[in-house]
């Protein structure tokens, strides 16, 4: 049975501009075929089990020619797979979607077009430029700025006579020819013009001028592909309507090196760092820790759970390992009858609540010291299991035993250096970062191991620590901690970073 090909427009870059229909198709795709300009975050909606094929093409450099892309779509569909063909912007706006659709139809492969938000409209909008306006432009004309080799087919004489907005896509290398040709055929040299690079993303940069000087303005600003060119009176509205680049943190690059963070492609209000992204910051997720559950240890603990009066969870990772073990062994909440459940921090308690296990003790401050302060006389002589990581729990267990509670460590998961992100981490650092965020001493220690103790790149970087334990570890290693929240959570950390820069 043949599969189906979905020709999907992924939008101009901001993951929030992809459609619900596109997300649904991605989630159920067996194969994802994607282009160069696709925001990598969008790929997170696809199943991890999907096959990913990068057919990215650069101007003058086509590692995967269009004919081969067509054949890939055909071949995968013949294998019975649902194929998500992910293209920037809209597949039918200079995206060769029409060519691919015709090829599929000629070869009797079912397909569906899922429209996307075109950069021709969205990128100017993010720069504060409406492509139409009642008093400035009653029409908009979208033109390719990157034509086939062998001469131009663009009628610049006709374009020069139009009063509407002209939007050129993929034309940065031909900008000089575009502006000179329009002037040659009668367009006023004083016609407003703008060029927007990496529109709708935190890397957005805009140059504004006129037909006579926009080429120089673009060179001075260092603007390169991908970029959108806008020509017309609507450009003058940017001074009043610019909004995206006005964010308090616009241009800031914040490197998050911890775990325990749900990095959704489209941030929602209940996720950490939402406010930072809303203010224009680029939040880069690069966890230096790799978490691996130790389910055999947890299974052994569950079999001996009758020996404990108190179960103490120190993190969401421990909760997840415990719940996974219960599900795998078909154990329900009856197994926990008579047990006290303690959790360090509201997030850990919230993760337990998802499994309908409601903790008896949750300190307001996310520290072992705060949990120990909750111990009362009635707990003396009890036995406790501390469900934690291979490198955690020492301070808590010592404190419990000093309070007369017999404690045993249950290693539910291991923290290991995430060496797989080394190249990505080095690239992000080379590109420049403004702040590095650490959520535990191990997130810092493992980063040093990954970088072979080369901390030179962090010389002018602001350091944020989630709490006093992490702060102390960083300072012991010779780092200056610039930001630490009053509330030791990711949300508190996000607010502290925002307050620091504002």
**Which residues carry out catalysis?**
35, 57, 170
DSSP secondary structure code for residue 20 in this structure: H
Whether the Cβ atoms of residue 274 and residue 261 lie closer than 8 Å to each other: no
Please tell me the distance from the alpha carbon of residue 101 to that of residue 110, in angstroms, as a whole number: 9
Scored b (16 or more CB within 10 A) or e, 268-279 reads eeebbbbbbbeb
Whether the Cβ atoms of residue 422 and residue 236 lie closer than 8 Å to each other: no
Q: Is the dihedral of CA 128, 130, 131, 136 positive or negative?
A: negative
Contacts of 180 (CB under 8 A, 6+ apart): none
Whether the Cβ atoms of residue 284 and residue 255 lie closer than 8 Å to each other: yes
Whether the Cβ atoms of residue 256 and residue 286 lie closer than 8 Å to each other: yes
DSSP secondary structure code for residue 483 in this structure: B
SS3 123: helix
Whether the Cβ atoms of residue 8 and residue 84 lie closer than 8 Å to each other: yes
State the first-to-last Cα distance of the chain, in angstroms, to the nearest integer.
58
Whether the Cβ atoms of residue 341 and residue 359 lie closer than 8 Å to each other: yes
Pairing of strands 51-54, 289-293: unpaired
Q: DSSP string of 263-312?
A: --SS--TTSTTHHHHHTT-EEEE--SEEEEE-HHHHHHHHHTGGG-SEEE
Q: Is the dihedral of CA 465, 469, 472, 473 positive or negative?
A: negative
Q: How many CA atoms lie within 13 A of 73 on its CB side?
A: 32
């Amino acid at each position: 049975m043949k599969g189906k090909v979905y020709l999907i427009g992924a939008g101009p870059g901001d993951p929030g501009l992809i459609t619900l229909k596109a997300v649904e198709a991605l989630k159920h795709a067996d194969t994802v075929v994607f282009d160069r300009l696709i925001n990598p975050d969008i790929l997170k909606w696809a199943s991890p089990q999907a096959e990913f094929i990068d057919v990215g093409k650069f101007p003058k450099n086509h590692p995967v020619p269009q004919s081969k892309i067509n054949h890939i779509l055909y071949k995968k569909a013949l294998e019975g797979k649902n194929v998500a063909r992910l293209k920037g912007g809209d597949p039918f706006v200079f995206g060769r979607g029409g060519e691919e659709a015709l090829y599929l139809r000629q070869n009797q492969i079912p397909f569906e077009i899922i429209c996307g938000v075109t950069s021709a409209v969205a990128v100017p909008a993010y720069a504060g430029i409406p492509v139409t306006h009642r008093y400035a432009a009653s029409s908009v004309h979208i033109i390719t700025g990157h034509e086939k080799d062998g001469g131009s087919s663009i009628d610049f004489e006709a374009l020069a006579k139009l009063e509407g907005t002209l939007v050129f896509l993929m034309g940065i290398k031909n900008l000089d020819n575009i502006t000179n040709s329009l002037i040659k055929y009668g367009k006023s040299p004083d016609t407003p013009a703008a060029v927007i690079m990496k529109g709708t993303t935190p890397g957005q940069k805009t140059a504004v001028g006129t037909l006579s000087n926009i080429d120089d303005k673009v060179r001075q600003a260092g603007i390169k592909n991908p970029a959108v060119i806008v020509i017309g009176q609507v450009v003058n509205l940017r001074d009043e309507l610019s909004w995206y680049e006005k964010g308090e943190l616009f241009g800031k690059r914040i490197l998050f090196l911890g775990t325990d963070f749900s990095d959704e492609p489209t941030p929602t209000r209940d996720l950490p760092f939402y406010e930072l992204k809303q203010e224009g910051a680029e939040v880069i997720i690069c966890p230096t820790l790799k978490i691996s559950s130790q389910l055999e240890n947890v299974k052994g603990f569950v079999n001996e759970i009758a020996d404990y009066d108190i179960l103490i969870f120190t993190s969401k990772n421990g909760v997840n390992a415990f719940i996974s073990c219960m599900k795998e062994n078909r154990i329900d909440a009856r197994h926990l009858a008579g047990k006290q459940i303690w959790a360090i921090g509201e997030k850990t308690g919230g993760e337990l609540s998802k499994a309908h296990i409601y903790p008896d003790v949750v300190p307001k401050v996310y520290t072992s010291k705060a949990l120990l302060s909750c111990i009362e006389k009635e707990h003396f002589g009890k036995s406790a299991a501390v469900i934690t990581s291979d490198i955690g729990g020492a301070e808590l267990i010592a404190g419990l035993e000093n309070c007369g509670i017999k404690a045993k460590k249950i290693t539910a998961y291991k923290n290991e250096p995430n060496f797989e992100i080394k190249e990505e981490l080095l690239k992000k650092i080379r590109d420049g970062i403004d702040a590095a965020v650490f959520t535990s001493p191990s997130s810092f220690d493992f980063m040093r191991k990954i970088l072979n103790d080369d901390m030179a790149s962090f010389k002018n970087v602001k350091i944020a620590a989630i709490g006093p334990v992490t702060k102390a570890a960083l300072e012991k290693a010779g780092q200056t901690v610039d930001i630490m929240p009053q509330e030791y959570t990711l949300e508190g950390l996000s607010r502290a970073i925002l307050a620091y820069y504002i």
